[in-house]
Structure 1
Amino acid sequence: MSPGTSDCRRVLGRLLVPFLAAALGVLSGCGEAPASAPPAPAVHAPVAAAPVAPPAGDALELGRKIYNYRCYFCHGYSGDARTLAATYLEPRPRDFSSTPPQALPRELMLAVTTHGKAGTAMKGFQGILTPREIEAVTDFVRDEFMARRAENTRYHTRENGWPDHERNQVAFPFARGDIAIDTPWEQLTQDQQRGKRLFLSACITCHDHGRVQNPGTPWESRPVSFPRDAYCTSCHTDTPRSEPQGVDHPRPATHTFAQANGSVPVRLPQAAGPRVGSAYLVHDKPPVIANATALEKKGEHLFQKNCAFCHAGDGTSKGWIGSFLEPHPRDLTSRVEMRGMTREHLHKSIAEGLPGTSMPAWKEVLAEGDIDALIAYISRAFHPIPGVRGS
């Protein structure tokens, strides 16, 4: 059973909220906002706001760093809320580029950033950001997007590993949304066809799904490309982040999935350099199970379609998304993290979700038999679970 459109939106909407606070850790302090944080003040009709005073240089750049670190995922790099996440949230995140400063007082923005906004995906950052950081990011948004409507930090620079990015300009119309990516091939020029192929093979992961004439299926969780500069250091690294550039470390030839079950080792792709996307790609590959039962095969399909988005295809949670979530999703292959796991506990975690984490409740999406199939697959593929047949 696959989640329906409305169910997908509901579950994925809940999944997206933690990204605001957990996408890349914390800039200052750590952990979630205190459970006893005071409620957000009542929101009243906007009042006339004073003209925006440009923040000082240091404050402006602090606000930019915080925004690029935490807010862009829903609000967009340039504050226009043109992101994939925004398409799954109701109400949609605010488009700051079309909101004049006079329509949204600074005091209200500070309150919402601090305490969140009820009924939306906007969570409060009290206890995560300091008051100074909240002021800095608020003033940055008001100056950069609302007052000046400026383009934010460019990502495709030489410093970020993108020399001569203009060579990819045939794909730009699809990234900008000038051309819908579901435009029939026969209606595209030869250059546009080249641009579409390039966009679909490399750009689409970070540029979301672009513009389409027919939205169709609302979510496809499998990335087609990965960022270049993050690296998994647990089992197949060349240069850990803590080491100076140029210091190489041996890379094991194989990585064994679910060692507790003696699964077949899988050959690792060899990296071209110390910063490659294949680190995530390795964990995107599911283990190969010999003589899987019908229930386990069903569980594999459900897991790879629904759970691998956060837990990775190999169950380690070391994929692209899992590496950003805090707390990290459970490593289903870890003897330590799976110690004491029972069939009943796993069933409850899947059905009810886990408060304080990104694990949502699936009981309204998956049938009882689907959860049973997932448990059978997890027990066979990743770590044996007492009480599950064959474990």
Structure 2
Amino acid sequence: MSPRRSEWLPALRRLAAPVFLAAAVALGGCGERAAETAKTAAAPAAPSEATLKLGRDVYNYRCYFCHGYSGDAKTLAASYLDPKPRDFQATKAEEMPVERILAAVKHGKPGTAMKGFTGILDEREMQAVSEFVRDEFLLKRAPNTRYHTKENGWPDHERNAVAFPFAKGELAIDTPWEQLTPEQQKGMRLFRSACITCHDHGKVNDPGKVWESRPVSFPRDAYCTTCHQDVPRSEPSGVTHPQRPATHTFAERDGSVPLHSPERAAQQVGANYAIHDKPPVLVGANAQELQGERLFQKNCAFCHAGDGTAKGWIGSFLEPHPRDLTSTEQMRGMTKQRLLHSIREGLPETSMPAWKSVLTEGEVEAVAAYIARAFHPVEGVRTSQAGK
């Protein structure tokens, strides 16, 4: 008969306890070594010198414009991109494993200027530049390649150190001259004569008004809807201009092109915009007005159109639209002094630039005389027509 369970189990436990303890100690040591081995296996191998060299070459050719040679994103691109390019020097290494960098290189980052390089770089180049970025900037915090080096054509660049504060943004480039020391004035002269070519987005105290033209779509229905919106949308051939009937009519259509085809629509759109490129015919214009005509058609018609309506191609794209110089409403209250000032100084928050550095005072006067003669009377401007 076998011994009862109650008799042999306690004895077995007493015998096994030392064995279990030894095994636990042994397994504990093995566990530590296994964990260390796993940790070592998980750590990626350091990239080879060949990989880093290839990555550096790719980065310095493809990536520096936005991220900077030193990976700190202190670049011209960063001054106008929103969101700004990533500053690798300020990014924690644990936040950017190689796999994450590689994904951005391959596929880009939606909502940013970072576009994917698949199809531009091969797999080896994308892997190399990803490993280079992490190794050089996130781990080593190294400067990579300095741009102003002898190899890049800048021998002894330190001789230009007086201009560095303006190039680096330490001193505002619009600092009043009298507030600068003689040394800073020397640096300002050097900066403005040489460095500003690349460092044109330096620090300023007064950034001025922010404005930019916003393009709008042109009419897609083959009609010049900015001024012909009340013309029947059937066959417009031969219909007179609803606002200025003596000025022009719609262009005749080419009968060889089907009436409702895209080609016909494109043909008519082009023809209707071209109508506004034709300047009015002046009869009995004086020498000043003829000079103004040449200047206006060469410089101003680009936005205001040849007929002064601003309904040409470019004028219709700009917002706010350029002034319609033929409009009684838009020219109400226009005086010679106001018109001359607008031409000389431009108009803030519009696409009207200042012409004072392009045209002489006599040429500005001639343009004003032409506007008053060809498009709309201007108070204080005497024209040849008025003198008749």
TM-score (norm 1): 0.45
Higher relative contact order, chain-length normalized (CA < 8 Å, sep 6+): 1
TM-score (norm 2): 0.45
Q: Which has the larger radius of gyration?
A: 2
